[in-house]
Amino acid sequence: MNVPVKNGQVTDKTRIIASLPTIKYALECGAKSVVLASHLGRPDGQRKMEYSLTVIVPILEELLGKSVIFAKDCVGKETEELCKNPAEGSVILLENLRFHLAEEGKGVNENGEKVKATPEEIEAFRKSLSSLGDIYVNDAFGTAHRAHSSMVGVDLTPKVAGLLLKKELEYFSKALESPTRPFLAIMGGAKVADKIQLIKNLLLKVDRMIIGGGMAFTFKKVMDNMEIGKSLFDEEGAKIVKEIMDTAKERNVQILLPNDFVIADNFSTEANARIIKDSEGIPDGWMGLDIGPESSNSFKELILSSKTIVANGPPGVFEMEKFSKGSRSMVEALVAATESGSITIVGGGDTASLVEKCGSANKVSHVSTGGGASLELLEGKLLPGVTSLSSKS
């Protein structure tokens, strides 16, 4: 239910829609009531009503075709009474978990000072949450990488994965543990340093890797001594580029970098733009904001000849139409690969936004609902919200 809200209106219902199968399944299986707990935005432990989940109620009611009871708080005696003996088939939505410091364990007070919840506050918060139901279902993949109270502190048995979380884990598990090969990873994003662990882990799994986005310029400068003008250059990440390329060579992983770019004289929609080859270099005062047509074609060929594809990062600044062609071409290739029987997984965050903007979210195998969580899974890390679930007997 942690969806974007602007001027009191939900602007993207994707996550709400994704949660529906679990809610409906619970009701179909005879649950007397379903109590929904969620975050919305970052109120930092304060009761800021612009982050109230009341905006979700009419949307949920429309999607479920039934009334939804709204609890004015997520814990406390009044909420505990409301959840104790509701009418058969009730759906109850709790107020924002992040209105309480004890959810994340820390936040900011009214004076803007950083504060922490006391152990006693955390214990009381978790105890009250635990009293609101009999079975715990975690369907919040987007928060599963955080050891928040709602993720790890609810004392109920059993603690199980919802249908969305199950789907997320199955897709990533299949890709990382037993992929149909060739296995391709598409990397984007600004900084190499931010993706070091991700790249290192994937080099142990994949057969091929495309490196695009802002980080491509750091690779091109280090490996090819290319002039990159004002393009992004990651000083810290540059130190490990050679190590990454050496590891790829040792493991026989094909690395594909762009060989042409769409460059601009400033970062705006009104900028002058042109296409250059990597051999020309990017002039001083100009920056690369997208891959060029030759690179798009090379990327497309590699995507279409791969059987498992994980995309994590767009190749260009797709938010600006003038610099979105490379990103749109990548999505078109992912859709075509899916239609040909390949497994295509789109990481959360910017890549998911790109696919949705292209109207292709239902045309790839899986679009993840969690940016940070999918990143940590791909890095080989354990997710607290998953490890805290009951073991399968």
Q: Which residues are part of a known binding site for ATP? A: 195, 319, 348-351
Would you call 191 a catalytic residue per the annotation? yes
Q: Which listed residue (107, 189, 281, 349) is catalytic?
A: 349
162 catalytic per annotation = no
Residue of 48, 159, 191, 322 marked catalytic: 191
Q: Please give the Cα distance from 363 to 390 (Å, whole number).
A: 33
Q: Hey, what are 262's tokens?
A: 């769409």
> Which of 155, 46, 151, 148 is closest to 103 using CA atoms?
148
Any catalytic annotation for residue 372?
yes
Active site residue 237: no
Measuring CA to CA, how many Å separate 124 from each of 98, 221, 311? 15, 54, 41
Per DSSP, 288 falls in state E
Cα separation, 111 vs 254, in Å, equals 53
Nearest to 70 by CA among 38, 95, 51, 90: 95
Report the candidate in 304, 300, 307 with the shortest Cα–Cα distance to residue 343.
307
Can you give 301-340 as a three-state secondary structure string? Answer: HHHHCCCEEEEECCCCCCCCHHHCHHHHHHHHHHHHHHHC
Binding site feature residues: 195, 319, 348-351
Give the span between the Cα atoms of 300 and 140, in whole angstroms.
33
- Residue 160's DSSP bridge partners are 137
Out of 15, 146, 220, 221, which one is annotated catalytic? Answer: 15
Annotated active-site residue in 41, 76, 372, 380: 372
- How far is the C-alpha of 185 from the C-alpha of 139, rounded, in Å? 26
Number of helical H runs and strand E runs in the chain: 16, 18
The DSSP 8-state label assigned to residue 283 in this structure reads P
Q: Give the separation between CA 371 and CA 368, rounded to whole angstroms.
A: 7
CA distance 371 to 391: 26
For strand 114-116 and strand 106-108, is the pairing parallel, antiparallel, or unpaired?
Answer: antiparallel
Residues labelled catalytic: 15, 191, 349, 372
